[in-house]
């Protein structure tokens, strides 16, 4: 699997299986593309856990392959959203109230929304205007909903999660541009 698709230690997953949820998206522009219920933990966030972060990932896979990985019950990985490179289309895979398994750190998984971006950390052509713009709108909406500050202390890269061995979104991700777009969305 790609570098951005983190797993959760199996000890944390024991008995953690999700029930089917209605196909209602949290972000109105998103298309519902559900992850396997074996790949996230049902919850009632932000009541059960406060939401403090948005974690930015790069898939190291295509959009379609990422959705397939999230649907595979053996993968034990998911994110709340996936943004397609070509047109910025947003798929929601896990409800925001539930805990997606994206950060590789249980504490950060419980306190964050994970957004995967189609592409590879070393191929900047995947970081299109549409991808940045639509992702920034999504991140702004999440931050507004949960009172998350729209800054780099709270909108972080996967590589900034404590204990992470991942490099995404990588040095070619334009953080200045992204945070500016989030704040103007």
Active site residues: 116
Residue 65 DSSP SS3: helix
Long-range contact set of residues 154-157: C-beta below 8 Å, sequence gap at least 24: 154/52, 154/53, 154/54, 155/53, 155/54, 155/56, 155/179, 155/182, 156/53, 156/54, 156/55, 156/56, 157/55, 157/56, 157/57
Peptide bond into 169 cis (omega under 30): yes
């Amino acid at each position: 699997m790609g570098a951005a698709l983190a797993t959760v230690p199996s000890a944390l997953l024991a008995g953690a299986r999700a029930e089917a949820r209605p196909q209602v998206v949290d972000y109105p522009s998103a298309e519902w593309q559900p992850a396997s219920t074996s790949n996230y933990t049902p919850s009632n966030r932000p009541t059960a856990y406060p939401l403090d972060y948005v974690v930015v990932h790069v898939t190291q896979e295509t959009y379609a392959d990422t959705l397939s990985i999230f649907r595979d019950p053996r993968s034990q990985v998911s994110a709340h959203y996936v943004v397609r490179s070509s047109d910025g289309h947003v798929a929601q895979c896990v409800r925001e109230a539930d805990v997606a398994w994206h950060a590789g750190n249980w504490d950060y998984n419980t306190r964050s929304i994970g957004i995967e971006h189609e592409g590879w950390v070393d191929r900047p052509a995947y970081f299109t205007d549409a991808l940045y713009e639509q992702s920034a709108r999504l991140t702004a909406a999440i931050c507004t909903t949960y009172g998350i500050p729209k800054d780099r202390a709270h909108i972080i890269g996967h590589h900034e999660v404590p204990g992470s061995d991942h490099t995404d979104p990588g040095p070619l991700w334009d953080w200045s541009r992204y945070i500016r777009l989030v704040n103007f969305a």
